[in-house]
Structures are given as C-alpha cells and as structure tokens.
Amino acid sequence: MTKTPSVLFCVLAVGTLQAQNHMTNTATQRYFNVVRSNLESSADVMPAEKYSYRLTPQQMTFAEWLNHATQRNYSDCAILKGEPVSELEKKAASLKEKAEVGKALKDSFAYCAEALKGMDDQKAISSPAMSNAFLHLVVHNNEIYGNVVGYLRTAGIVPPSTAGREAAKGKK
C-alpha cells in the first residue's frame, strides 16, 4: 500500500516536468522527429543515380541539399550540447554517393536527438546562441525538406510526408 503514493507522486512529477517543458517537448516530438523522418526517408527513396541531379543548373544537387542539412545539424547541435563542432560537419560537404550521404545525414540526426534529450525550456532560452540553434534545427531542416520535395517529385517519387498521409487515408 505504501508504494501507491510513491508511484502516484512519480507520475505527477513527470507530468509536471513535461508541462514545464512544453516548448522543447513540442519542438522535438512534433517538428524535429517529423522532419528527421521525412529527410531520412527522402535519402532512402531517391535512387543513387539521382543524387547528382539538379532542378536547374544554378541549384544544389540532391546530395548537396542533404549534406547541407548534415552540416547544419552538426553546427546547431554542437551549440545545444556545448561542444565544439565535429569534424564530420566539414567532411559532409564532400560527400556525393547515396550510401555515404544518407549515413552522414542519419548520423547527424542521431547526434541532434542526443542533444535534444538534454534540452528543456530554460536551456533553450538561456542565450541567443542557444535559442537560435534550437529553433534553427527545426526551421532549417523543414526548409531543406521543402526543397528536396521538388527533386523527389520530378524524379516521379511521392515525398515521404505525402506518402504517409496517403497511407493513413487508405487505412480509414
């Protein structure tokens, strides 16, 4: 019988902590996890021969867009973790092949997921650099995904975000 009040206290404490970190929890669960899934899935579904594809001669290749996301992930999340920027950030710019680009992207998102585990609302607003890195992580990756969608569509591929909605409609 004495365990019940302790368990109830723990449940209430966790709920209170989550409520106190509404901004970071929402940003992570609703925005970071979604764009992470969309970009990683985009890397997976694009054929290897399309990684050098450009929509127009002036634009980046599909691989360069993903490399750009990788680089910014390492830069932003190093700030969130209070660490120097990884050498992997510089290395990403030279990647061209599907396997290496996709792996680097996924590794950078894993690094950021680790950084977000240590975030709370207070830390996110603790300095302009921290706030900018936290917001940039979500906003910038969504901007990149918006560009990547055009590459997928011109390659005849339904983007992951659309494919997910279509699959959900089919289940109803």
Residue 3 has pLDDT above 60, yes or no: no
d(CA 56, CA 52): 12
pTM, full prediction? 0.84
Which candidate, 141, 149, 117, places its Cα nearest to that of 31?
141
Contacts 24+ apart (CB under 8 A), 85-88: 86/111
Could you give the CA distance from residue 9 to residue 141 in angstroms, rounded to a whole number? 38
- Which of the two residues, 5 and 167, has the higher pLDDT score? 167
Domain chopping of the chain, boundaries: 19-171
Residue-wise pLDDT tens digits, 85-99: 999 999 999 999 999
Q: Which two tokens stand for residue 109?
A: 């998102």
For 26-35, what is the mean pLDDT? 91
Phi, psi values for residue 94, rounded to 5° = -95, -5
pLDDT of residue 172: 56
What's the CATH code, domain 19-171?
1.20.120.450
Q: Is 98 helix (H, G, I), strand (E, B) or coil?
A: helix
**Lowest-pLDDT range, 7-16, 102-111, 132-141?**
7-16
Largest CA distance in the chain: 71
Q: In this predicted model, what pLDDT tens digit does every residue of 46-97 receive, in sequence order?
A: 999 999 999 999 999 999 999 999 999 999 999 999 999 999 999 999 999 9
